[in-house]
Amino acid sequence: MYNGLKRIGSSTYGYISRRFYSTTGVNGEGQSQKPQETTHFGFQTVNKEEKESMVKGVFDSVSSNYDLMNDFMSMGIHRLWKDELIKTLNPVPGSHLLDVAGGTGDISFRFLDKIKQSKYYFPQINQDGSGQSSTSLPSSATVFDINQSMLDQGKKRGILNGYNDTTDPSIDWVHGSAEQLPFQSDTFNCYTISFGIRNCTNIEKVLQEAHRVLKKGGRFLCLEFSHVPNPLLKFAYDTYSFNVIPIMGQLVAGDRDSYQYLVESIRKFPTQDNFAKMIENAGFKQVTYKNLSFGVCSIHSGFKL
Ligand SMILES: C[S@@+](CC[C@H](N)C(=O)[O-])C[C@H]1O[C@@H](n2cnc3c(N)ncnc32)[C@H](O)[C@@H]1O
């Protein structure tokens, strides 16, 4: 038992304690007679309609410690990966970003900061002393997430980082699912999804929606945990992931299960090449990817042309 929680299954890497367990059970055990469409939730097989609420449970549980845990787990490296995503996007004034599964706003804050560093950004001090505005084309970042608790944490961070959504029209926080975006077609010129798509039930639907809301010429970028091709490095990475991260989750955030889910969900995500094909199938062109940290993460890119 962990944390008074029931263990309901085992994996290659040892027993899994399960707070977010499904009625389907590990590897489909206990399925009802009626055939139902299944998917994975980490190493568990769950009914498709259950996954979204289970993922919600994970992020409701981790939201208050999310940013701290990111720093602990990755030893701060997630910041470099996110910087690389924004460097790849290289936004200029006039860009409008939809940051899906945006969580606590890390990508959106970086996007808006980067625009302010652009040579096409012309700041000016407001006459009334209310701070700084710009005479360049307006830009915006919409942080979009299915978990209100993550968005609420992000809004608090935004105020500390100079992006207060009540006074600053450049940032917006919207609640909803990546599989059904509440935006008109051809609205944004940048779409990012960072460490989010892995958690979605219907990845194909997420990609189709990304393609729909982008304007022609718009860019899709996905930063996600991926697969380490080198067997030696993979062994070291797996050992760290399965033995250290859940324990860290327990010690730092008092939540082992959510971090066990995290490491399992990474292993279930398609390989870099297969994911690139899925992006192409959704209609994106010029699809490429680059590995970061030997394939621990990758950035996939595609354009709506
Ligand atoms: C690991 S966090 C990533 C947050 C942020 N993008 C970052 O890089 O730090 C994953 C986020 O995906 C969100 N999420 C999961 N499923 C989603 C869905 N179907 N639609 C929108 N957001 C979703 C979660 O609520 C969570 O905030």
Examine residue 257 and state whether it is found in any structural domain, yes or no.
yes
| pLDDT for the residue numbered 63 | 87
- Whether 261 and 276 map to the same domain: the answer is no
**Residue nearest (by alpha carbon) to ligand 1 atom 6:** 102
Residues annotated in a binding site for S-adenosyl-L-methionine: 104, 145, 194
Q: Which atom of ligand 1 is nearest to the CA of 103?
A: 27
Residues 41 and 137 in one domain: no
pLDDT score of 130 more than 90: no
Closest approach atom of ligand 1 to CA 147: 25
Q: Are residues 219 and 244 in the same domain?
A: no
Is residue 253 located within the same domain as residue 276? no
- Asked if the model's pLDDT at residue 8 lies above 60, the reply is no
**Is 212 found in the same domain as 113?**
yes
Does some domain include residue 84? yes
Q: Which residues are annotated as a binding site?
A: 104, 145, 194
Question: What's the pLDDT at 11?
Answer: 36
Of all atoms in ligand 1, which is nearest to the CA of residue 70?
9
85 Cβ contact partners less than 8 Å away, ≥ 6 residues apart: 107, 110, 192, 194, 221, 223, 299
Which residue owns the Cα nearest ligand 1 atom 25?
147
- Residues 166-178 pLDDT 10s: 888 899 999 999 9
Tell me the pLDDT tens digit for each residue of 278-302. Answer: 999 999 999 999 999 999 999 999 9
Q: How many domains does the chain have?
A: 2
**Ligand 1 nearest atom to the CA of residue 102, by list position:** 6
Task: Give the CATH number, domain containing residue 141.
Answer: 3.40.50.150
For ligand 1, mutation pick of 49, 198, 199, 205 (most atoms within 8 Å of CB) = 199
Residue 86: domain span: 76-227+271-305
Whether pLDDT at 157 is above 80: yes
In terms of domains, do 34 and 141 share one? Answer: no
Task: Please indicate whether residue 151, judged by its CB atom, sits closer than 6 Å to ligand 1.
Answer: no
> 103 CA distance to ligand 1 centroid (A)?
5
Instruction: Please write the tens of the pLDDT for every residue from 39-77.
Output: 988 888 988 888 888 888 888 888 888 888 888 888 999
Q: 141 and 12, same structural domain?
A: no
For the segment 140-158, the average pLDDT, to the nearest whole number, is 96
Residue 194 in contact with ligand 1 by CB distance below 6 A: yes
Specify whether 81 is located in the same domain as 112: yes
218 and 143 in a common domain: yes
pLDDT of residue 105 exceeding 70: yes
For residue 12, pLDDT over 70 is answered with: no
Same domain, 221 and 297: yes
Instruction: Report the half-sphere exposure of 83 (CA within 13 A, side-chain side).
Output: 5
> Is the CB of 258 within 6 Å of ligand 1?
no
Rg (CA), the chain: 20
Tell me: do 56 and 159 sit in the same domain. Answer: no
